[in-house]
Structures are given as C-alpha cells and as structure tokens.
Amino acid sequence: MKFKREILVEPQWQVLRKIGPVITPHNFYLGGGTAIALQLGHRRSVDFDWFIADDFDPLSFAQRLREQVPSFRYTHHAKSQRPGVIVG
C-alpha cells in the first residue's frame, strides 16, 4: 500500500524519520486517525498515536527517546502512557 504523503506536512515527516529508528525495535505501531489518513488520504492530521502490544516502562522508554531525539519533550505523565512533543 502506498501512503498518502500529502496528509502530513514536511516537519511531520521529519519527526517520523527521527523517531522511526528508536521505536521500530520496540514494535510500536502507528494507530488512530493519522494511520487511517495515511491510507485513505481523507484528511490532514496533526498528531501521532503510537501503540505497543507488550508491557513496557514508559518512563525508561521516554528517557531513551529523549537521548536519541533531543527535541522530545514530555507533556504529562500517566500510567502506561508517555505523551510528549517532538519539536521540528
């Protein structure tokens, strides 16, 4: 399947390129509206919803992500979640 690249702006593609090597080995997958929009091209999207089937330590993972993607910023803490923002 070919992605509908036009639903994301270039800075979003840059974020995907930055975090892809970090999250791929941990079996994260993209879900939510962005995943559907990449397939259907029916709307633009502004966020990425990443999911993982396995148990993981969100704080430890967020620290590793921050080490490899310095522009990552935590937005808040919740059990089994690690919402954050990657700037540019």
Q: Using 50, 70 and 90 to split pLDDT, how confident is the model at 78? A: low
Beta strands in the chain, from DSSP E residues, in sequence order: 29-31, 49-51, 72-74, 84-86
Nearest residue to 87 (alpha-carbon basis) of 77, 75, 76, 78: 75
Q: How much is the average pLDDT of 4-20?
A: 90
Q: Using 50, 70 and 90 to split pLDDT, how confident is the model at 77? A: low
- pLDDT tens per residue across span 16-65: 888 888 888 889 999 989 999 999 999 988 888 888 888 878 778 888 88
- Quote the CA–CA distance of 2 and 20 in Å, as a whole number: 18
Given 3-state DSSP classes, what are the helix, strand and coil percentages for the chain, each rounded to the nearest 5?
A: 45, 15, 40
Can you give the pLDDT at residue 7? 93
pTM above 0.85, yes or no: no
Q: What length is written for the chain?
A: 88
Nearest residue to 48 (alpha-carbon basis) of 78, 1, 9, 2: 9
Q: Where are the domains of the chain?
A: 5-86
